[in-house]
Amino acid sequence: MDEDIPYGVRIAASWAWRLGLILVVAGALIWLLSKISFLIIPVMVAALLAGLLSPATRWLRRRRVPNGAAVALTVLGFVGVIAAALALVGRQLSAGFGELWSQALEGVQQVQGWLAEGPLHLTAAQIDTYIKEGTDALQNNSSSILNGALTFGSTAGHFAAGLLLAMFVLIFFLLQGDQIWGFLVRLMPRKARPAVYGAGHRGWTSMVSYARIQMFVAFVDAVGIGVGAAIIGVPLALPLGVLVFIGSFIPVVGALLTGAIAVLLALVANGLVNALIMLGIVLLVQQLESHILQPLVMGKAVSLHPVAVILSVAAGSYLAGIPGALFSVPILAVANSAVRYIAGRTWEHDEELAAASLQGDPALAGAGEDPSFREDHLPGADAETP
C-alpha cells in the first residue's frame, strides 16, 4: 500500500502528524499555564528583574561583600530608586493636576460653545437634555459600575500579592540562581544534561540582553518625549516621561498608547497647534527607535527580525492580553537561542560548558557516574544462589 501512495503525499503526511502533535502539546501547555498565570507572571517578572540586577550583585561580590548582603543591598537599592521615582511623579501630579483640571474645564466650555454656535446649532436646552440622558444612563447602570469597581479591587489585591511573590522569587534568583538551575537540569536524563544546561544558559543570556536593551530603548523614548513636551510647554512632562518609560517595555503597542496620551495631553492643555507639534515629536522619537535603535541594538542582542517581534506581540496580546504582549518577545528570544543551540549540537564544542564541567558543576554529573542514582546492593546479593 505504501508503494501506491505518492512519495510527496507520504512526506506531507509525516510532516502533518508531527506538526499536529507539536501544536496539540503546545496548546495543552499554554492552557495549563493559563490556569496558574498568577504564579507564572510573577516568576517571569522576577526573571527579567534578576537579569537587570545581577550585574550589581556580581559587582558587590567582587568587592568581597557576602552573598546575602550583596543581594539585600541590590534589592533595597532597586526598591529605593522605584519609590523615589514614584514619589517625584506623585508630587508633580499633585502640583499640576489643579491647573490641568481648570484647562480641561475651559476645553469643555469651548466644546459647548462650538456645539451652540457651530454647524450643529444646538440650544442650551438640547445640551442639557443630552447631559441628563447621560446621567440617567449612568444611574441605570450603577450595578454594572459597582461590579466593575469590585472587580478592580480584586484585581488590585491580586496585583499586590503577585508583586510580593515576584520580590520573593527575585531574592532567591539573585541569591541561589545557579543552584536552582542546577536542580532543574538534574531532573533531565544524564545524557541530555549538557545540552539542556548549555541551551538554558544561552536562553538566559538572550533574555538578559533583551531586558537591558529594552530598558535603554525605553529610557531614550522617555527622555525624547519628556524633554520635547517640556520644551513646547506641555504640563506634567515628567510624569509623561515616566509613563512613556513604563509603556515602552511593551513593544509596538506601548509606544503607540503612550504617544497618544502625550498628544491628547497637549491638545487638552495647549490647543490644536501644540498637539500637532507634540505629535511630530512622538513620531520623530518613534522613527529614531524603529530605524536606528531597534535594528542596530536590539537586533544584535536577540537576533530577531522586526516582523517576528510584531507577530509575537500580536499573538501574545491576543492570547494573554498585556502580560502576553510584555513577555512574548523575551520568550521568543529565549526559545530562538535554545533551539539554535540544540539544533546545532553546540554543547559538543562549547567552551563555557567544558569549563563548568571541569569546575565540578553537579548539574553536569551526566558525563560520568551520577551519585543521585547510585545502585545499592544488599549484602550477599552477589552470592550465587544454590
pLDDT, one tens digit per residue, over 316-364 is 877 777 777 778 888 888 888 888 888 888 887 777 776 666 555 666 6
Query: 519609590: which residue's cell?
Result: 83
Asked whether the predicted pLDDT for residue 281 surpasses 70, the reply is yes
Mean pLDDT score, 121-128: 64
Long-range contacts of 142-151 (CB under 8 A, 24+ apart): none
Question: What is the longest distance spanned by two Cα atoms in the chain?
Answer: 114
Q: Look at residue 386 and tell me whether its pLDDT is greater than 50.
A: no
Q: Assign 234 to helix, strand or coil.
A: coil
8 A C-beta contact, residue 312 and residue 332: yes
Mean local confidence (pLDDT), 7-13: 86
pLDDT greater at residue 17 or residue 353: 17
What whole-number distance in Å separates Cα of residue 10 and Cα of residue 7?
Answer: 5
pLDDT, mean of residues 289-312: 70
Q: What is the pTM of this model?
A: 0.68
What integer best gives the mean pLDDT of the chain?
75
Question: How much is the average pLDDT of 299-315?
Answer: 74
Tell me what the mean pLDDT of segment 263-268 comes to.
Answer: 79
> Given CA atoms 125, 126, 132, 135 in this order, what sign does their dihedral have?
negative
The pLDDT of residue 25 is 92
pLDDT value at 188 more than 90: no
**Cα 102-103-104 angle, rounded to 5 deg:** 90
Mean pLDDT within 238-264: 76
Dihedral angle sign, alpha carbons of residues 366, 368, 374, 375: positive
Please report the pLDDT score of residue 240 as a whole number: 80
Least confident of 58-72, 105-119, 147-161: 147-161
